[in-house]
Amino acid sequence: MPLASGLYYELHGPAGAPVVIMSPGLGGSGNYWKPNLDVLTRDHQVVLYDHRGTGRSDRTLSEPVTVEAWVDDLLILIDAIGAAKASVIGHAAGGVAGLALALKAPERLDKLIVVNGWSKLDPHFARCFAARLHLLRDSGVEAYVAAQPIFLYPAAWISRHSLAIDAEAAAHVAHFPAIATVESRIAALRAFDIDAQLGAITVPTLALAAGDDMLVPAFCSEHLAAHIPGATLAMMAWGGHACNVTDPAGFAAPVIKFLRS
């Protein structure tokens, strides 16, 4: 598969169709979006990629790690595939990068979908970040990976998929980024604050949230929709932070409607 300035990426779907770049969350792996590919590739050419420092992309990072650097990587991808512009679907950290791209280079964005995202640090997920960092530093990667489903999925979904979660844990540990990389990525997210600039975003935007997300409160998406001119809000009643994984069909419905509008 191709690399663009050290970024690993994959192309899925019909060549020549409108381009959608899928930007993952804190974990950084493009594989996060695999449950959504079948639906999205019917009408779009979909780009999956691993964030720099994670997965199959270049693991070397220059300090400091910033959201602005993630924006530059999105522009690198748009250029690499030869597109004038693309839509971006970003989950959490990926959505934050999409918002920053909408401010920096709106002419390169067709539409933006921010999934369980935010415009500035909220005290609740600041606590979650701190707890996860304590696990990683004090108990190690295995403990961090073991606890991760609690932050991502609803309790009932974890119960029904416990064996599959356990089976995937070893792979997650084996491909885990350097601890310093995770610390730097969290620091970048903690420093991110474009709240005062939301009114300057002109790109058509969908803020999508799950009402039961225990990591990023749904009111963060409500805030985005209320302060970005012309933005649309889609609220899933169930699904947790990783709602596109737990309920792919429920996720796809508002996403496809927005992309076709």
DSSP string, 177-198: PPHHHHHHHHHHHHH-B-GGGG
| Cβ-based neighbours of 76, under 8 Å, separated by 6 or more | 4, 5, 7
Token pair of 109 as six digits: 């964005």
Over the chain (261 residues), the average pLDDT of each successive run of 10 is 91 96 97 97 98 94 91 97 97 98 98 98 97 96 97 97 94 94 97 98 98 97 98 97 98 98 93
Considering only CA atoms, which of 71, 67, 73 is closest in space to residue 49?
A: 73
pLDDT at 240: 98
**Looking at the chain, which runs of residues are DSSP E strands?**
3-4, 7-12, 19-23, 45-49, 86-91, 109-115, 205-210, 232-236
Considering only CA atoms, which of 33, 194, 211 is closest in space to residue 118?
A: 194
First to last CA, the chain: 32
| Calpha distance 176→189 (Å, rounded) | 19
Q: How many C-beta atoms lie closer than 10 Å to residue 258's C-beta? A: 19
Token pair of 191 as six digits: 């420093």
Token pair of 75 as six digits: 């522009």
Phi, psi of 187, rounded to the nearest 5 degrees: -60, -40
Q: What is the CATH number of the domain that holds 125?
A: 3.40.50.1820
pTM above 0.95, yes or no: yes
In tens, the pLDDT along 170-187 reads 999 999 999 999 999 999
* Count of structural domains within the chain: 1
Q: Which structural domain range is residue 67 located in?
A: 3-260
